[in-house]
Amino acid sequence: MRNDEKRIFTLNSIRYKNTSINIIENVYEPSEDSFLLADAALSEIKGFERILEVGCGSGIISAVIKANTKASIIGIDINPHAAKCTRENRVDVIRGDLLSCIKGRFDLIIFNPPYLPTKDEEIENGWLNYALDGGYDGRKVIYRFLEDAGRCLIESGKILMLVSSLSGIDEIRSRMVSLGYVVEDNLHENYMFEQLTVLSASKK
């Protein structure tokens, strides 16, 4: 597991890598997956890339990128509370469902999707369910995103997406390959019950 020394948690706020964000109710609280994807993003960004974060939640990943790189970034989230939280954390944000309202093209699209396999009886009421519910196999939202992502990338664009062994990393990797991406592992962490991996997918 990576070193946690740079994470500072206080009531309703988190400090990480030169940035501080506030958390509000009904928004996914940053966890190991958030920090892993933030670190992976920083390792990929080289200059003035144009970046979209899908499902930005609290805005922590976008805020870390904004504070530590020269890239421009905008977030999108279906949850109105998440959009409000991201905006209050000084990141530009759109409220929308995945890529449905995105018209432009980006160098990099970042996504920490809902990946938990979820039975009907496990579905939660409220907006927070959008951050957790991955459908019966954990891949429902991931596959929806992948089907549309290509049109939002520049010719040499890239997807950076966090996935979990709970939802089948090999199956997701295979779907990306079938859609014409070259897929590599960026970072991963092993836990007692799952492995988290950040997949880097480039257009051929």
Q: Which residue stretches of the chain are H helix?
A: 32-44, 60-68, 80-88, 140-149, 169-178
In a domain? residue 58: yes
In a domain? residue 18: yes
In a domain? residue 79: yes
Instruction: Indicate the range of 8-17, 70-79, 96-105, 130-139 predicted with least confidence.
Output: 8-17
Query: In which domain, by residue range, is 61 found?
Result: 8-203
Read off the pLDDT band of 3 (50, 70, 90). Answer: very low
In a domain? residue 2: no
Name the E strands within the chain: 8-10, 13-16, 19-22, 50-54, 72-77, 93-95, 106-111, 153-164, 181-190, 195-203
In this prediction, residue 10 carries a pLDDT of 64
pLDDT tens digits, 83-124: 999 999 999 999 999 999 999 999 999 999 999 999 999 998
In this prediction, residue 6 carries a pLDDT of 66
Give mean pLDDT, residues 63-73.
Answer: 97
pLDDT tens digits, 143-187: 999 999 999 999 999 999 999 999 999 999 999 999 999 999 999
Read off the pLDDT band of 204 (50, 70, 90). Answer: confident
Strands 181-190 and 153-164: unpaired
In a domain? residue 1: no
**Domain total in the chain:** 1
Q: With 70 as the cut, is the pLDDT of residue 5 above it?
A: no
Query: Residue 123 and residue 129: Cα distance in Å, rounded?
Result: 7
How large a percentage of the chain has pLDDT more than 90? Answer: 90
Phi, psi (deg, nearest 5) at residue 115: -125, 5
The CATH number of residue 106's host domain is 3.40.50.150
In a domain? residue 112: yes
In a domain? residue 3: no
In a domain? residue 21: yes
In this prediction, residue 2 carries a pLDDT of 52
